[in-house]
Amino acid sequence: MDAREAILTLVAARDPDKTICPSEAARLLADDAGRADDWREWMEPVHAAARALVAEGRLEYRQQGEQVAAPDGAYRLGRRPRN
């Protein structure tokens, strides 16, 4: 499993209007690698995958429940609303 797959797996498991924290994907990757205590080392690959998924229009960044173009600080990832 890679960072992109981890993010998409977690988002798909949530209700459409719910979000995930990037650290959830990092923890999933660390657990998958058998190194659950080292989840922080997975954060940069998760952030990179998140940037790509947002750029592709598959997901959106959210802060305080609102969609933002570029996060300033901690963010969550959610599905883009269907038009």
Residue 2 neighbours by CB distance under 10 Å: 11
* Domain CATH number, residue 50: 1.10.10.10
**Residue 61 belongs to what domain range?**
3-79
Q: Are strands 76-79 and 19-20 parallel, antiparallel or unpaired?
A: antiparallel
CA 42 – CA 23 distance, rounded (Å): 8
pTM given for the model: 0.92
Q: What is the pLDDT along the chain (83 residues), one digit of tens a residue?
A: 999 999 999 999 999 999 999 999 999 999 999 998 899 999 999 999 999 999 999 999 999 999 999 999 999 999 998 76
Helix residue ranges, H only, the chain: 3-12, 22-32, 43-55
Please tell me the total count of domains within the chain. Answer: 1
- Which of these, 47, 28, 48, lies nearest to 38 by C-alpha position? 28
